[in-house]
Structure 1
Amino acid sequence: MTILAFPRVAHRYLDVDGVRIFYRESIPAEAGPEAPVLLLLHGFPSASHQFRRLIDAIGNHYRVVAPDYPGFGHSEVPLPASAGGTFAYTFDQLADTMEGFVKGLGLDRFVAYLFDFGAPVGFRLATRHPEWFAGLIVQNGNAYEEGLSEGARDFIALRPEQPDAEQTIRDLLTLSGTRFQYETGIGKPELLAPDGWTLDQHFLDQPGRKQPQVDLAFDYHSNVTRYGEWQAWLQQHRPRTLIIWGKDDPFFPEPGAHAYLRDVPEAELHLFETGHFALEEKLPEMVPLIADFVDRTWPMPG
């Protein structure tokens, strides 16, 4: 009988500017302290738990670090500024917190996995600290106008002063809205575990959790205005890039994946017949691509 090696995964907290941030970190027994480092940046409305199977698959070979943003998962939920608190739930603030998190852990070089919200957070970090990025793995993380579906454009156009705009956002924060994000575009429903959307909804339904998501939704347009800046960064730095994309994503359709090749022509592009949460259905196909990419990208030059 063959005994497969699985990683030990530590579940920890780190104080970042007074906010308690939860994170998962694999302890790679095979590679030791010199293991390549991956920083996994999650999406909406999820948290680091969305990467559990990926961490189990690769965490014995790499040091994999997956934090929860403020207001997500097991991280602290500071009272939003919009509700009388002092924490502004904007993408700039998420990036500020993740910048502090990376510095707090002493990470100075990693391959970043950017999914959904992880793209605007990750690209903000990249423009501030290009020296941190050994490579990019982009999975349904958009940075191009053509990568926005009509539905996504309509959603991004919502503003607080518009009638029913906030209710439109809150309708997406329901169980049916969360399940829609997982199920739309899926090829084989029997491969989609219900745990993902169930756990996401558990956190969304906790007291004080929905207002941060409303605030972030109203701030999403700030990402679109910075697409040009991120594209210029890609052109200038030409990072080693792997693009793995569920092409039937209802929010970020296939053209958004191809668009990266304009700025990083050497990028590797792999499309899969699945939806937004592509890892849920296509993990067995994606893991070898991720591992091969990291092995060829690491160690850091010099």
Structure 2
Amino acid sequence: MDVPLIRHRRLEVEGVDVFYRESVPTRTDAPALLLLHGFPSASHQFRRLIDVLGDRYRLIAPDYPGFGNTTAPADFDYTFDRLADIAEGFVRRLELTRFAVYVFDFGAPVGFRLAERHPEWIAGLVVQNGNVYAAGLSDGARAFTALRPEQAGAEDTIRELLTLAGTRNQYETGVADTTVLFPESWLLDQHFLDLPGRKQAQVALAFDYKSNIARYPAWQAWLREHTPPTLITWGANDPFFPAPGAHAYLTDLPDAELHLFDTGHFALETHLGEIAALIAAFLDRLPGSPR
């Protein structure tokens, strides 16, 4: 049985101590896939995917500031622009010049900012419940992202999502058989959410989410201009980003490969085998991939 070597490392980027996981594939010319995690998780959400594919591909999963094992200065400005700044610096420090990107949830606004800044970096996209279309926002997501700091009770509404019940609900909603879920997934997420300063960071990012929606038209234009090879795997029962968000990509990328799964937001938790096989076939088809 091939079990990949996985290294856990740190890099300093603009005063942020970035933690990341990286597989060491058997081939030195293996395709690279940058794994950009979502909320309320971190790079640990990709542990099983790295175990499955890490011997064949170079999988790299960093934690953003405010998430997981990454530590940031007390005065770090928690906006999506700043998360993308750190991700960009991280990529530069690793001297990555051409790679595919897995964008999930928060990973979509981070990844598309990288794509805008450096289209030459992007060999392909794997999109898993990473929304960049108004059609992909549920009514609940629209209401949540419309919250403003000056609104009475707005911060309290956000903080309700940062409780253990709120975190667990994100894993279980839309999943037909919750016995397949790993309880440690939401427990680990909550451990990091409960660290000092983390909830205030998440509140700041929640209020900034409207900046992503404002950039949807620009990201859609980027897709039309650059037409990257794209694999879309989507949990169709996601309460935040429902299935129309997946279908919307086809308006700008008619050649994209689309797969919907009968599951919720964290599709890898329930459909790892199917999604991993799709990712492997996709990476093998990318131009320049070793044959």
TM-score by length of 1: 0.95
- Total equivalences in the alignment: 290
Is the counterpart of residue 18 in structure 1 residue 36 in structure 2?
no
Q: Distance in 1 between matches of 2:287 and 2:174?
A: 33
Give the counterpart letter for 2:237 in structure 1: D
Q: Mind listing any 5+ residue stretches in structure 1 that lack a counterpart?
A: 80-84
8 Å Cα contact 1:112/1:137 also seen in 2: yes
Deviation per residue, 1:124-179 (Å, 9 max, x gap) = 00010000000000000000001000000000000000001001001100000000
Partner secondary structure for residue 59 of structure 2: strand
Q: Which residue of 2 aligns with 1:43?
A: 38
Provide the alpha-carbon RMSD of the alignment: 1.0
Deviation at 1:242, TM superposition (A): 0.2
Q: Distance in 1 between matches of 2:73 and 2:110?
A: 18
Deviation at 1:190, TM superposition (A): 1.3
Deviation at 1:187, TM superposition (A): 2.0
Partner secondary structure for residue 144 of structure 2: helix
Deviation at 1:264, TM superposition (A): 0.5
Deviation at 1:18, TM superposition (A): 1.2
Q: Distance in 1 between matches of 2:137 and 2:190?
A: 24
Is the counterpart of residue 132 in structure 1 residue 121 in structure 2?
yes
Q: Which residue of 2 aligns with 1:119?
A: 108
8 Å Cα contact 1:243/1:270 also seen in 2: yes
Give the counterpart letter for 1:224 in structure 2: I
Partner secondary structure for residue 89 of structure 2: helix
Q: Distance in 2 between matches of 1:239 and 1:300?
A: 15
Q: Which residue of 1 aligns with 2:220?
A: 231
Q: Distance in 2 between matches of 1:270 and 1:234?
A: 19
Give the counterpart letter for 1:223 in structure 2: N
Deviation at 1:298, TM superposition (A): 4.3
8 Å Cα contact 1:247/1:275 also seen in 2: yes
Corresponding residue to 2:168 among 165, 174, 179: 179
Deviation per residue, 1:102-129 (Å, 9 max, x gap) = 0000000101000000000000000100
Q: Distance in 2 between matches of 1:44 and 1:78?
A: 20
Deviation at 1:300, TM superposition (A): 6.2
Corresponding residue to 1:261 among 250, 258, 263: 250
8 Å Cα contact 1:148/1:251 also seen in 2: yes
8 Å Cα contact 2:137/2:245 also seen in 1: yes
Deviation at 1:78, TM superposition (A): 2.5
Q: Distance in 1 between matches of 2:221 and 2:246?
A: 17
TM-score by length of 2: 0.98
Deviation at 1:195, TM superposition (A): 1.1
Q: Distance in 2 between matches of 1:224 and 1:66?
A: 25
Q: Distance in 1 between matches of 2:175 and 2:286?
A: 30
Partner secondary structure for residue 88 of structure 1: coil
Structure 1 runs (4+) greater than 4 angstroms displaced: none
Is the counterpart of residue 161 in structure 1 residue 134 in structure 2?
no
Aligned pairs for 1:1-302 (under 5 A) are 4-29=1-26, 31=27, 33-79=28-74, 85=75, 87-299=76-288
Deviation per residue, 1:74-120 (Å, 9 max, x gap) = 000322xxxxx2x2100000000000000000000101000000000
Q: Distance in 2 between matches of 1:77 and 1:164?
A: 28
8 Å Cα contact 1:77/1:209 also seen in 2: no
8 Å Cα contact 2:15/2:72 also seen in 1: no
Would the alpha carbon gap of residues 42 and 180 (structure 1) be closer, same or farther in structure 2, given more than 3 Å must change? same
8 Å Cα contact 1:7/1:56 also seen in 2: yes
Q: Distance in 2 between matches of 1:259 and 1:90?
A: 26
Q: Distance in 1 between matches of 2:41 and 2:72?
A: 14
Partner secondary structure for residue 130 of structure 2: coil
